[in-house]
């Protein structure tokens, strides 16, 4: 056992060999906070028999600091060199005030507003925006964010229709083609009022915020589920006549195959002329998705791809130019990318 003392007569401090080794580790650490390095050096220098004045000069500390940590080490050893727990600041706002912020965020605002901003909540309750942000964050409330979800279908035949469509996807009838059909309506042919600035190093592609409308184009498309091939036709408007014309096009294309066509419940799909024509076509069976369940129609996946690849950020001087580009894209897609979509499900098995 070692004993440390001072030039003046002071009470000796017992230091074990393990404590000395830990002090040495602290004093040489590159990661430890400097205040702990300093405190360990004060004790180690005392072990060497240096006076308070010598330690003050060597560590650039005050005399009070040296004496304080000597005494703390004498009383509690290594633990004495650690910071005491602090009570922390008293909260600026009471629990009731915080509750008021939370209630505001969870209520519908008045005055014609649809949503609360953090600044308006702050103005209402009389505190800073940063405090409102902190309170909402602690409560895990995100007043600026909205998520969308698919409600339960009201279709009384939902289970039957859903099972039928999934069955066609998973186990199609022999010598049959499963086709998903839908319309993407009124895509706008937008032109910018100034030429587009191309992508350059350090700068993204840039377009003016102002634009000119050059008409709209609608597209009716069919996805062959098990090959991924797209058949499509542009049109000026979405009506039963165009839908029937497209069905006839599919009939001619897949002449020797039975067609199971999946479509949504749009009224043009059930128009009397469509029904009458289908009544004479035993090779074509129309399957309707349940109400609010267009997600069962796989062509919706392809429409999302089309939007990202073609529609978003596009510039067209006429609706004809847009229509031509759509058909050129579909030709390229069929030649280079067309393949079946792989659906995945990571939840619990469905009980059907």
Split at pLDDT 50, 70, 90, the class of 148 is: low
Mean pLDDT of the chain: 87
Report for 86-95, 117-126, 145-154, 192-201: range of highest mean pLDDT: 117-126
Q: Packing angle between helix 52-59 and helix 63-76, nearest 10 degrees?
A: 110
pLDDT of residue 18: 86
The residues, any chain, with a CB within 8 Å of residue 315's CB and separated by 6 or more, are 190, 191, 192, 196, 207
Q: How many CB atoms lie within 10 A of CB 248?
A: 12
- The answer on pLDDT for 15 being more than 80 is yes
Query: Is there a contact between 41 and 59 (Cβ–Cβ < 8 Å)?
Result: yes
Q: What is the pLDDT of residues 95-134, one digit of tens each?
A: 888 889 999 988 988 888 888 899 999 999 999 999 999 9
Mean pLDDT value of segment 234-239: 90
Percent of the chain with pLDDT over 70: 92
Mean pLDDT value of segment 22-41: 87
Q: What is the pLDDT of residues 125-137, one digit of tens each?
A: 999 999 999 999 8
> Residue 288 pairs with which residues in a beta bridge?
263
Cα–Cα distance list, 145 to 115, 119, 311 (Å): 10, 15, 26
Q: Which two tokens stand for residue 344?
A: 């995945």
Cα–Cα distance list, 115 to 46, 92, 102, 135 (Å): 65, 27, 14, 18
Q: State whether residue 350 is helix, strand or coil.
A: coil
Split at pLDDT 50, 70, 90, the class of 76 is: confident
Tokens 């592609």 correspond to what residue? 205
Q: What is the pLDDT of residues 289-323, one digit of tens each?
A: 998 888 899 999 999 999 999 999 888 999 999 99
Tokens 């067309």 correspond to what residue? 338
CB-hemisphere CA count at 13 Å for 332? 9
Tokens 């074990």 correspond to what residue? 16
Q: What is the pLDDT of residues 161-185, one digit of tens each?
A: 999 999 999 889 988 999 999 999 9
Query: Is there a contact between 218 and 234 (Cβ–Cβ < 8 Å)?
Result: yes
């Amino acid at each position: 056992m070692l004993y440390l003392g001072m030039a003046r007569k002071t009470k000796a401090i017992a230091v074990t060999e393990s404590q000395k080794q830990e002090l040495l580790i602290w004093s040489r650490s590159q990661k430890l906070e400097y205040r702990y390095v300093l405190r360990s050096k004060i004790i180690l220098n005392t072990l060497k028999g240096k006076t308070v004045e010598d330690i003050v000069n060597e560590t650039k500390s005050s005399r009070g600091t040296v004496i304080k940590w000597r005494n703390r080490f004498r009383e509690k050893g290594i633990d004495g060199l650690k910071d005491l727990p602090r009570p922390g600041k008293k909260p600026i706002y009471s629990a009731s005030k915080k509750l008021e912020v939370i209630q505001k965020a969870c209520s519908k605002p008045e005055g014609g507003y649809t949503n609360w901003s953090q600044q308006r909540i702050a103005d209402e309750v009389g505190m800073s925006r940063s405090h409102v942000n902190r309170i909402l964050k602690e409560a895990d409330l995100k007043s600026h964010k909205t998520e969308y979800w698919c409600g339960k279908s009201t279709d009384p035949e939902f289970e039957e229709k859903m099972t039928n469509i999934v069955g066609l996807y998973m186990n199609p009838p022999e010598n049959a083609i499963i086709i998903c059909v839908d319309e993407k309506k009124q895509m706008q042919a937008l032109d910018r009022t100034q030429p587009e600035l191309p992508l350059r190093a350090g700068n993204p592609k840039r377009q003016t915020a102002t634009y000119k409308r050059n008409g709209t184009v609608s597209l009716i498309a069919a996805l062959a589920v098990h090959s991924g091939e797209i058949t499509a036709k542009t049109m000026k408007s979405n009506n039963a006549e165009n839908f029937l014309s497209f069905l006839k096009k599919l009939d001619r294309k897949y002449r020797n195959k039975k067609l199971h066509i999946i479509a949504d419940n749009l009224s043009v799909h059930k128009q009397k002329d469509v029904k009458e024509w289908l009544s004479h076509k035993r090779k074509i069976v129309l399957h309707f998705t349940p109400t609010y369940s267009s997600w069962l129609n796989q062509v919706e996946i392809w429409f999302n791809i089309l939007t990202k690849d073609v529609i978003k950020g596009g510039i067209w001087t006429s609706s004809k130019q847009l229509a031509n580009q759509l058909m050129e894209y579909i030709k390229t897609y069929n030649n280079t990318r067309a393949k079946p979509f792989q659906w995945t499900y990571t939840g619990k098995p469905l009980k059907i």
